[in-house]
Amino acid sequence: MPDSNIYVSYQPNVDRLEVMFKTYLPLKDGVVFTKVPRGLIVSIDERCFFNDGEARIKESSLCLLNTIAVLLQQLPNYCVIEDHTEESIFKDSDYNENWEISLARAGNIVQYLIVYGKLNPDQLFALGYGQYMPFRDNVSPKIGMNNRIDFVILEYETKR
C-alpha cells in the first residue's frame, strides 16, 4: 500500500513555461525566449523599461511588469532578474558605469515585483551584468538585444 504521507513537488517544465509566457505577454517584438539547462529565459528589450542613463522604471512598462508578476505568482519557481546594459549614455546620469546602472535596474524591477506584484522576496534575485554577457549571434541577431532584461525562470531549487 502506498504511503499517503509522500508529497511530490511539481515544477512545470520549460516547454510549458514558454507557452505560458508567450500566451500572456503583450509584446511580440523585442522579446526572445531561450531554453537553457537552468530553465527559461524571457529576454525583453531594455528600452521597454528604462530611458537611457536612468534606472527609474518607465510608467509605460508597468502593465508589462504587472503581467509578468501575475505569471510568476502562478509558479513555485525562483526567478532571477538579470539586466544587461552596454554602451549606455551617461550624460546627466547618476551612473558612470554600465554595471552600476545594470544592477540598479535589476534591483528596481525586483523591488517593483515584490511591492506591487506581491511576489515573495525569497523567490526573486537581482543581477546586473553590464556589458559582460552579450547575446551571441546564434541566439538572437536582433539589434539592441544586448541591452535587455532577462527574466530567468529557474527549473531547479536554489537557496540564498
Closest alpha carbon to 105 in 95, 114, 115: 95
Instruction: Flag whether pLDDT at 159 surpasses 60.
Output: no
User: How far is it, in rounded angstroms, from Cα 119 to Cα 105?
Assistant: 18
- pLDDT tens figures, 3-27: 445 443 444 488 899 999 999 987 7
C-alpha dist (Å) from residue 121 to 11, 19, 125: 19, 25, 8
Q: Report the predicted TM-score, pTM, of the whole model to 2 decimal places.
A: 0.83
All domains of the chain in start order, with CATH: 26-154 (3.30.1330.60)
- pLDDT tens figures, 62-88: 999 999 999 999 999 999 999 998 866
Spell out the residues 6+ positions from residue 145 whose beta carbon is closer than 8 angstroms to its own. 30, 32, 43, 45, 135
Share of the chain above pLDDT 90, in %: 53
pLDDT class of 53 with cuts at 50, 70, 90? confident
